[in-house]
Amino acid sequence: MLKQLFKPNFQLHWAKQTGPYEITTRWTMVMKFVLLPWKPELVFTGTSVMGVNPKTNKFNSHVDYWDSIQNNDYFSLEGLVEVIKQLRIYKTPDLETPSYQILRRTAAYEVRKYDPFIVVETEGDNLAGNRGFNDVAGYIFGKNATTEKIPMTTPVFTQAFDAENSKVSIQIVLPSDKSLSSLPAPSKEGISLRKTEGGIAAAIKFSGKPTDDVVREKEKQLRSSLIRDGLKPRSGCMLARYNDPGRTWKFIMRNEVLIWLEDFKLD
């Protein structure tokens, strides 16, 4: 049933012995509910504790613990609400996105491990602003040294490099089959190419129009949650906008605020 309805992708992070007759695993499960037209992505992370019968050396118990809920009892009402929350509509365009692996999903945020990716960027004005977008979009539409047209990706990133958001860049991620050496040089001053080395980032997802006040509030919420959970957020943040605001209803827009983390360990 799981295979047919949810197309699960199970990722095992580690498995180790945690008692004389006990094995614990940490995992991520990513599923798409294919019966709903918008095919929502359901993400669960957690641990499984399995008991071993010392006489037969076979498993005789199996208990799952989700990171996103406190009550992990069988038929947990909190668990049902967590599933329903993830069924809401977010529109994610059918375009390439930076590759990442979800390491942990709590009730407030996801922790992701991003692979390196390349961006074309220029200076922006504020996190929710659009200044500079036409310039970086022009680069992929052929306004470059070789007039090469480059496939569009998603999301558009706006990155603030410090806590005061005094320096902001607007970025479009370039396709993963491109390298810095194979990409044409920008033909307009102020446009540059840069390789982001990836790493561990926390993300909070939300819909609606991402105004500057909304983005700052989401950053504040995310940073507070990370510090509460003992994680180490870096200065600055990124806004990820996945949709064309002129062609997408506000209530199904997919936006994210991301903060890079230091010294994250997947316990």
Q: What confidence category does residue 165 fall into, taking pLDDT thresholds of 50, 70 and 90?
A: low
Across the range 77-83, mean pLDDT stands at: 94
Structural domain contains residue 100: no
Q: Are 60 and 122 part of one and the same domain?
A: no
Domain endpoint, select from 87, 121, 150: 87
Across the range 219-245, mean pLDDT stands at: 95
Q: Are 139 and 52 part of one and the same domain?
A: no
Give the integer Cα–Cα distance in Å for 67 and 28: 10
- The CATH number given to whatever domain includes residue 65 is 3.10.450.50
pLDDT at 161 over 90: no
pLDDT at residue 245, as a whole number: 87
Give the integer Cα–Cα distance in Å for 161 and 8: 36
Across the range 175-179, mean pLDDT stands at: 95
Q: Are 50 and 154 part of one and the same domain?
A: no
Give the integer Cα–Cα distance in Å for 49 and 57: 15
Structural domain contains residue 246: yes
Structural domain contains residue 101: no
pLDDT at residue 6, as a whole number: 84
Structural domain contains residue 159: yes
* C-alpha distances in Å from residue 35, one per residue of 1, 31, 39, 70, 87: 12, 12, 7, 28, 11
Give the integer Cα–Cα distance in Å for 61 and 90: 37
- The CATH number given to whatever domain includes residue 158 is 3.20.80.10
Structural domain contains residue 96: no
Domain that holds residue 72: 2-87
Structural domain contains residue 14: yes
Residue of 45 and 73 predicted with greater confidence: 45
Domain endpoint, select from 52, 87, 122: 87
Q: Are 57 and 139 part of one and the same domain?
A: no
Helix and strand numbers, DSSP H then E, in the chain: 4, 14
pLDDT at 100 over 90: yes
In tens, the pLDDT along 106-147 reads: 999 999 999 999 999 999 988 898 899 999 999 999 999 999
Q: Are 149 and 183 part of one and the same domain?
A: yes
Q: Are 82 and 29 part of one and the same domain?
A: yes
Q: Are 257 and 180 part of one and the same domain?
A: yes
Give the integer Cα–Cα distance in Å for 256 and 207: 8
In tens, the pLDDT along 1-58 reads: 778 888 899 999 999 999 999 999 999 999 998 888 888 999 999 999 999 999 999 9
Domain endpoint, select from 33, 54, 87: 87
Instruction: Tell me the average pLDDT of the chain.
Output: 94
Q: What percentage of the chain carries pLDDT values higher than 90?
A: 84
Q: What percentage of the chain carries pLDDT values higher than 70?
A: 99
Give the integer Cα–Cα distance in Å for 129 and 111: 26
Question: How long, in residues, is the chain?
Answer: 267
Q: What confidence category does residue 212 fall into, taking pLDDT thresholds of 50, 70 and 90?
A: very high
Structural domain contains residue 57: yes
Q: Are 251 and 169 part of one and the same domain?
A: yes
* Total of domains in the chain: 2
| DSSP class per residue in 188-214 | STT-EEEEE--EEEEEEEE-S---HHH
Q: Are 129 and 258 part of one and the same domain?
A: yes
pLDDT at residue 74, as a whole number: 84
Q: Are 120 and 70 part of one and the same domain?
A: no
Q: Are 53 and 119 part of one and the same domain?
A: no
Structural domain contains residue 7: yes
Q: Are 80 and 178 part of one and the same domain?
A: no
